[in-house]
Amino acid sequence: MAHVNENYLKLPGNYLFASIAQKVAEFSKHHPDASIIRLGIGDVTRPLAPAIIQAMHKAVDEMGHADTFRGYGPEQGYDFLRQAIIKGDYHRRNISLDLDEVFVSDGAKTDVACIQEIFGQDLKFAVADPVYPVYLDSNVMVGHTGNYLADKGIYEQVVYLPCTAENGFKAQPPTEKVDIVYLCNPSNPTGTAMSKAELETWVKAAHDQNFIIIYDSAYETYITEEDIPHSIFEIDGAKEIAIELRSFSKCAGFTGTRCAYVVVPHACKAYTKDGKAVSLNPLWNRRQCTFFNGTPYVIQRAAEAYYSPEGWAQCQADVNYYMDNAHTIRDGLIAAGYTVYGATNSPYAWVQTPHQMKSWEFFDLLLEKAHVVTTPGEGFGPHGEGYLRLTAFGTKENTAAAIARIADLKLCK
């Protein structure tokens, strides 16, 4: 008799964005004429940049000829892309990396969900609250948490780091013992970003308290302020305590194309039960070689083209387009009387619900009355209650129309 993995039964509901999609589908069924504007999931709408498309076409043609055809690629990614990543994302910020410290993958969601596999079963972890749900759900599924406490909206044995208006939505280092901490900077969902000095505090805490930081910088391209680090490796001593995850989804429009990478420095170590230090790099390499046969060649050539001068400029134009939307959301909602955070170094705006409305209640109201899809803050954790997240990844026209519809409801006046 096969037994199920009962950890799955601890999960209270569906994956957040799947639940929202279901709710929206249900609404559409009953209101087929409603013109729904989606500012919920952070899915891009700009087409892939011409330089990227050109590189993909070329790579597709190569796959059609015996002398340039490629079969299984290296599990860690082709050297051409790893070199482009190191040069484009790290050398220009004076960070040196070895080629074998970079692991190309088919998406940061996969990496974020799987990275915990290289740590011990008794792993104790901390997450910001609110937080991107994959960090938490993936750890629940493998048994790194206790039960879900429905009345509190939290799991036993997880350390939650509250991010509130009072602390600028910035997680503070844990005061109790943990093994790893997930940090997303700029933050999904709140759109706020930690400064260099704040990140230095984290790196120091990781050294002093002996924990590893899983640093998700999927949104670093959206940083506009000088003092916000793009990589945790800009901080001295970070290579010993951090793993960094990056994605091509938001900087180059790859949400449907799928490519990302993880940096596991050789210097980053964890311990055996008897106290022996073990480098995490060969462990992640071993894991990838067993579980993964590499990102498709055509996709890696596409990602490489992002780093070409043309690709870089074209993608930056798209990032600017989305940031204009972010400002439309932020400024439009502030003018309508809302309190809005984020949207300065991030494509996400974090909006306080009016009159202390619950976040799902406000989500329903906006769907029903404005036909605008958002993401309720409570879906990201208990401290997300009282907020909604709006994404700037829509079209310019839809974003402006959505904000006008929300303002027209006059809920804050």
Task: Name the percent of the chain in helix, strand, coil, to the closest 5.
Answer: 45, 15, 40
37 backbone dihedrals φ, ψ, rounded to 5° = -110, 130
346 near ligand MLT, judged by CB under 6 A:
no
What gap in Å lies between CA 384 and CA 314, rounded to an integer? 34
Rounded to a whole number of angstroms, the minimum distance from the CB of residue 40 to ligand MLT is: 7
Cβ proximity of 342 and 377 under 8 Å: no
**According to CB under 6 A, which one of 20, 59, 82, 109 is a site residue for ligand MLT?**
109
**For ligand MLT, the closer CB: 41 or 142:** 41
CA quadruple 254, 258, 259, 264: dihedral sign: positive
**According to CB under 6 A, which one of 188, 190, 217, 345 is a site residue for ligand MLT?**
188
Tokens, residue 243: 């793993």
Rounded to a whole number of angstroms, the minimum distance from the CB of residue 223 to ligand MLT is: 17
DSSP state of 277: E
DSSP state of 86: I
**For ligand MLT, the closer CB: 144 or 250:** 250
Tokens, residue 291: 């579980």
DSSP H or E run through 350? strand 348-352
**Residues 17-56: x/- map of binding to ligand MLT (CB under 6 A)?**
------------------------xxx-------------
**For ligand MLT, the closer CB: 132 or 215:** 132
Rounded to a whole number of angstroms, the minimum distance from the CB of residue 119 to ligand MLT is: 22
DSSP state of 94: T
Rounded to a whole number of angstroms, the minimum distance from the CB of residue 41 to ligand MLT is: 4
Residues 120-159 touching ligand MLT, rule: CB under 6 A, are: 132
**For ligand MLT, the closer CB: 173 or 189:** 189
Number of residues that bind ligand MLT (CB under 6 A): 6
- How open is the CA angle 16-18-19, to the nearest 5 degrees? 65
164 backbone dihedrals φ, ψ, rounded to 5° = -130, 170
What gap in Å lies between CA 243 and CA 182, rounded to an integer? 10
**Residues 236-275: x/- map of binding to ligand MLT (CB under 6 A)?**
----------------------------------------
**For ligand MLT, the closer CB: 285 or 399:** 399
- How open is the CA angle 254-137-217, to the nearest 5 degrees? 40
Distance from the Cα of residue 302 to its chain's centroid: 21
186 near ligand MLT, judged by CB under 6 A:
no
Rounded to a whole number of angstroms, the minimum distance from the CB of residue 262 to ligand MLT is: 15
Contacts of 30 (CB under 8 A, 6+ apart): none
Rounded to a whole number of angstroms, the minimum distance from the CB of residue 132 to ligand MLT is: 6
Rounded to a whole number of angstroms, the minimum distance from the CB of residue 4 to ligand MLT is: 25
> Which residues would be at the binding site for ligand MLT (CB under 6 A)?
41-43, 109, 132, 188
